[in-house]
Amino acid sequence: MFLILTGSTPKLEEQSVESEKNSHILTGLRPGTSYVVRVIADNEFGSSTPSVPIRFNTAED
pLDDT for the residue 9: 66
pLDDT for the residue 45: 95
Residue 39 contacts residue 50 (beta carbons within 8 Å): yes
- The CA-to-CA distance between both ends of the chain, in Å, stands at 34
pTM of the model: 0.78
pLDDT tens digits along 4-53: 888 886 678 888 888 787 888 888 899 999 999 999 999 999 999 999 99
Confidence check: pLDDT of 57 > 90: yes
Fold of 2-58: Immunoglobulin-like (2.60.40)
Phi, psi of 26 (to 5 degrees): -80, 130
pLDDT for the residue 5: 85
For the chain, what are the domain ranges?
2-58
pLDDT for the residue 42: 92
